[in-house]
Amino acid sequence: MKDNVKQQGFSLLEILVAFSILALSLGIILKIFSSGLQTAALAEDYTLAVEIAGSLLAKTGEEHILELGENSGQENERFNWLVQIISIDLDINSQLPESLAERVVQVKVTVSWGDKNPRSINLTTLKLIPFVNSVK
Protein backbone atom coordinates (compact mmCIF):
# COMPACT_ATOMS: atom_id res chain seq x y z
CA MET A 1 0.00 0.00 0.00
CA LYS A 2 1.25 3.33 -1.04
CA ASP A 3 0.56 6.45 0.96
CA ASN A 4 -0.25 9.34 -1.29
CA VAL A 5 0.47 12.11 1.21
CA LYS A 6 1.23 15.61 -0.05
CA GLN A 7 3.70 17.71 1.84
CA GLN A 8 2.30 20.77 3.45
CA GLY A 9 4.28 23.86 4.47
CA PHE A 10 6.94 26.04 2.92
CA SER A 11 10.29 25.01 1.62
CA LEU A 12 13.48 26.57 2.97
CA LEU A 13 13.98 28.50 -0.27
CA GLU A 14 10.51 30.06 -0.05
CA ILE A 15 11.16 31.16 3.54
CA LEU A 16 14.51 32.73 2.60
CA VAL A 17 12.96 34.65 -0.28
CA ALA A 18 10.13 35.89 1.96
CA PHE A 19 12.56 37.07 4.66
CA SER A 20 14.73 38.81 2.04
CA ILE A 21 11.74 40.73 0.68
CA LEU A 22 10.66 41.64 4.23
CA ALA A 23 14.16 42.86 5.14
CA LEU A 24 14.41 45.04 2.00
CA SER A 25 10.94 46.48 2.57
CA LEU A 26 11.64 47.32 6.22
CA GLY A 27 14.97 48.91 5.29
CA ILE A 28 13.32 51.16 2.72
CA ILE A 29 10.50 52.13 5.08
CA LEU A 30 12.92 52.98 7.91
CA LYS A 31 15.04 55.09 5.55
CA ILE A 32 11.95 57.03 4.45
CA PHE A 33 10.91 57.70 8.06
CA SER A 34 14.41 58.74 9.15
CA SER A 35 14.80 61.18 6.25
CA GLY A 36 11.38 62.61 7.11
CA LEU A 37 12.47 63.16 10.71
CA GLN A 38 15.69 64.84 9.58
CA THR A 39 13.74 67.14 7.29
CA ALA A 40 11.33 68.02 10.11
CA ALA A 41 14.25 68.81 12.45
CA LEU A 42 15.88 71.01 9.80
CA ALA A 43 12.59 72.84 9.20
CA GLU A 44 12.29 73.45 12.96
CA ASP A 45 15.82 74.90 13.04
CA TYR A 46 15.03 77.25 10.15
CA THR A 47 11.79 78.31 11.85
CA LEU A 48 13.59 79.11 15.11
CA ALA A 49 16.33 80.99 13.25
CA VAL A 50 13.77 83.13 11.39
CA GLU A 51 11.94 83.87 14.66
CA ILE A 52 15.22 84.93 16.32
CA ALA A 53 16.20 87.12 13.35
CA GLY A 54 12.74 88.70 13.18
CA SER A 55 12.82 89.43 16.89
CA LEU A 56 16.23 91.06 16.59
CA LEU A 57 15.07 93.16 13.64
CA ALA A 58 12.04 94.33 15.60
CA LYS A 59 14.13 95.18 18.69
CA THR A 60 16.77 97.09 16.73
CA GLY A 61 16.04 100.76 17.08
CA GLU A 62 13.30 100.20 19.66
CA GLU A 63 15.33 99.14 22.71
CA HIS A 64 18.59 100.88 21.79
CA ILE A 65 19.45 103.94 19.75
CA LEU A 66 20.39 103.07 16.17
CA GLU A 67 24.13 103.51 15.77
CA LEU A 68 26.33 102.27 12.95
CA GLY A 69 28.23 99.13 13.87
CA GLU A 70 27.80 95.47 14.82
CA ASN A 71 26.38 93.56 17.75
CA SER A 72 26.50 89.80 18.25
CA GLY A 73 25.36 87.16 20.68
CA GLN A 74 24.03 83.67 21.18
CA GLU A 75 20.50 82.33 21.60
CA ASN A 76 19.48 78.95 23.07
CA GLU A 77 23.16 77.88 23.15
CA ARG A 78 22.80 76.81 19.48
CA PHE A 79 22.15 79.91 17.41
CA ASN A 80 24.74 82.65 16.92
CA TRP A 81 23.47 85.99 15.69
CA LEU A 82 25.03 89.13 14.27
CA VAL A 83 23.25 92.48 13.83
CA GLN A 84 24.91 94.94 11.46
CA ILE A 85 23.76 98.54 11.08
CA ILE A 86 25.23 99.99 7.90
CA SER A 87 24.80 103.38 6.27
CA ILE A 88 23.51 103.00 2.74
CA ASP A 89 24.02 104.95 -0.44
CA LEU A 90 20.84 104.63 -2.48
CA ASP A 91 19.86 106.46 -5.61
CA ILE A 92 16.72 107.59 -3.83
CA ASN A 93 18.90 109.38 -1.28
CA SER A 94 19.63 111.99 -3.93
CA GLN A 95 15.89 112.67 -4.15
CA LEU A 96 15.45 112.93 -0.40
CA PRO A 97 16.13 116.02 1.65
CA GLU A 98 19.69 115.97 2.97
CA SER A 99 18.62 115.68 6.61
CA LEU A 100 16.48 112.62 5.81
CA ALA A 101 18.99 110.91 3.49
CA GLU A 102 21.57 110.77 6.27
CA ARG A 103 19.11 109.02 8.56
CA VAL A 104 18.42 105.92 6.41
CA VAL A 105 20.38 102.85 7.54
CA GLN A 106 20.35 99.20 6.57
CA VAL A 107 19.85 96.66 9.36
CA LYS A 108 21.10 93.19 8.50
CA VAL A 109 20.62 90.24 10.86
CA THR A 110 22.48 86.96 10.31
CA VAL A 111 21.62 83.89 12.36
CA SER A 112 23.87 80.83 12.02
CA TRP A 113 23.86 77.37 13.61
CA GLY A 114 25.27 73.88 13.21
CA ASP A 115 28.78 72.55 13.70
CA LYS A 116 29.02 69.66 11.25
CA ASN A 117 26.84 71.24 8.57
CA PRO A 118 26.77 75.02 9.22
CA ARG A 119 23.68 76.88 8.07
CA SER A 120 22.61 80.51 8.23
CA ILE A 121 19.84 82.90 7.29
CA ASN A 122 19.90 86.65 6.63
CA LEU A 123 17.12 89.19 7.10
CA THR A 124 17.59 92.78 5.97
CA THR A 125 15.51 95.91 6.31
CA LEU A 126 15.85 99.69 6.13
CA LYS A 127 15.21 101.91 9.15
CA LEU A 128 15.30 105.59 9.93
CA ILE A 129 17.47 106.93 12.71
CA PRO A 130 15.06 109.08 14.73
CA PHE A 131 15.74 112.76 15.36
CA VAL A 132 16.89 113.53 18.86
CA ASN A 133 14.94 116.49 20.18
CA SER A 134 16.98 118.63 22.49
CA VAL A 135 15.02 120.64 25.01
CA LYS A 136 16.60 123.94 26.04
Write down all domains in the chain, each with its CATH number in brackets.
12-128 (3.30.1300.30)
What's residue 67's pLDDT?
Answer: 83
Q: Whole-structure pTM over 0.75, yes or no? A: no
The C-alpha atoms of residue 79 and residue 48 are separated, in whole angstroms, by: 9
Q: Contact, 107 vs 57, CB < 8 A?
A: yes
pLDDT at 40 over 80: yes
Task: Give, rounded to a whole angstrom, the gap between the first and last alpha carbons of the chain.
Answer: 128
134 pLDDT band, cuts 50/70/90, is very low
Average pLDDT, the chain: 84
Mean pLDDT of 5-9: 72
Q: Which residues contact 69 (CB under 8 A, 6 or more apart)?
A: 84, 85
What's residue 61's pLDDT?
Answer: 83
